[in-house]
Copies of this chain bind each other. A is one copy, B any other.
Amino acid sequence: MAQLLRVQNFCISSDGIAAGENQTLERPFGDVEPGELFTWAGATASWPMRTDPGGSRGLDDHFTRDYARNIGAEIMGRNKFGPQRGPWPEDGWRGWWGDEPPFRTPVFVMTHHERPSFTLSDTTFHFVGGEPAEVLAQAREAARGKDVRLGGGVTTVREFLDADLVDTLHVVVAPLTFGSGLRLWDSPDDLLDRFHLEVVPSPSGVTHHLFWRR
């Protein structure tokens, strides 16, 4: 089986925006309020951060449970990991996710600034420079035959799309508009020259967009 690079459960507003400008420690999504972006996922039985039993097991749950299936590594941009810019400050920051990050694989954080790797529970964060293709090669090796997830944020997803390295994308469009911020696309049609697309409305109100290479 081919080792795919997969974007999974990537959430945007109906005007294509995944996050706002002006990210801070307190506001990982900057000037936009992300809560409603992820409501659909938090309601499912397989949501990785779920702490109580219950949750739905319908269509949306199929997507939250597919998040980890056959994934052996994640790649993320520095701004998904944290709000710092430039050389790493000695602030003890170890990501937004606490002592039990939901990735449970090696994670490759793209940065121009060196920093030692560290491990939290089942997740090890590595900090790597280089072009998308070079980072992908490292992640593929770490994934030991499994697929690699491209975790975001939006700038990183666009960078890998521009380099034509993405095999499948699952983008969830939530029924809200942000007006301004970091935009994935003007329209999903932007990708149709390279990808098949299926558009699947969910009873929860979000619309799943499933892309795979032509």
- Residues of chain A touching chain B, judged by Cβ–Cβ distance below 8 Å, are 2, 45, 53, 56-59, 62-63, 65-66, 69, 168, 196, 198, 200, 202-203, 208, 210, 212
Contact = CB atoms under 8 A, between A and B. Distances in A.
Contacts of A69: 65-66, 69
Nearest to A70: B65
A95 B2 CA distance: 30
A69 B45 CA distance: 15
Mostly helix, strand, loop or mixed at chain A's interface? mixed
A8 to B, nearest CB: 11
Contact of A59 (B57, B168, B198): B198
Contacts of A200: 58-59, 200, 202-203
8 tightest Cβ-Cβ pairs between the two chains A and B: A57-B212, A58-B198, A58-B210, A59-B200, A198-B203, A62-B62, A57-B168, A69-B69
Among A66, A196, A200, A208, residue most surrounded by chain B Cβ atoms (within 10 Å):
A200
Contacts of A59: 198, 200, 208, 210
B212 A56 contact: yes
A103 to B, nearest CB: 18
A58 B203 contact: no
B65 A196 contact: no
6 contacts: A2-B53, A56-B212, A57-B210, A59-B198, A62-B62, A62-B210
